Structure 1
Amino acid sequence: MTGPPRDPGLQPERTRLAWRRTALALTVIMVLTVRLALSGDVTGALLAGVAVLGWGTALRVCWGRATGSGPSVAYGPALPLVALATAGFAVLGTLLVVRGLW
Structure 2
Amino acid sequence: MTRDPGLQPERTRLAWRRTLLTLTAVLLLQLRPAFGGRAVDAALAGAAVAIWLTLLVVNWRRATGVGPRRPARWSVPLTALGAAGLALLGVAHLLGGVR
Normalising by structure 2, report the TM-score.
0.77
Question: Residues 10 and 52 from structure 1, CA distance in 2 versus in 1: closer, same or farther, beyond 3 angstroms?
Answer: same
Name the Cα RMSD after superposition.
2.6
Q: Distance in 1 between matches of 2:76 and 2:94?
A: 27
After TM superposition, what 4+ stretches of structure 1 lie above 4 angstroms from structure 2? 93-101
Determine the structure 1 residue equivalent to 2:5.
Answer: 8
Give 1:71 deviation, angstroms. Answer: 2.9
Q: Distance in 2 between matches of 1:53 and 1:41?
A: 19
Q: Distance in 2 between matches of 1:9 and 1:84?
A: 30
Q: Unaligned 5+ residue runs, structure 1?
A: 1-5
Is the 2:13–2:65 Cα contact (8 Å) retained in structure 1? yes
Q: Distance in 2 between matches of 1:96 and 1:19?
A: 26
Q: Unaligned 5+ residue runs, structure 2?
A: none
Determine the structure 2 residue equivalent to 1:3.
Answer: none
More helix by share: 2
Q: Distance in 2 between matches of 1:89 and 1:72?
A: 28
* 3-state SS, counterpart of residue 24 of structure 1: helix
Does 2:45 align with 1:33?
no
The number of equivalent residue pairs is 97
Moved more, 50-59 or 81-90: 81-90
Determine the structure 1 residue equivalent to 2:76.
Answer: 79
Q: List per-residue Cα deviations over 1:11-60 (Å, max 9, x = no partner).
A: 11111011111101111111111111111122211111111111111011
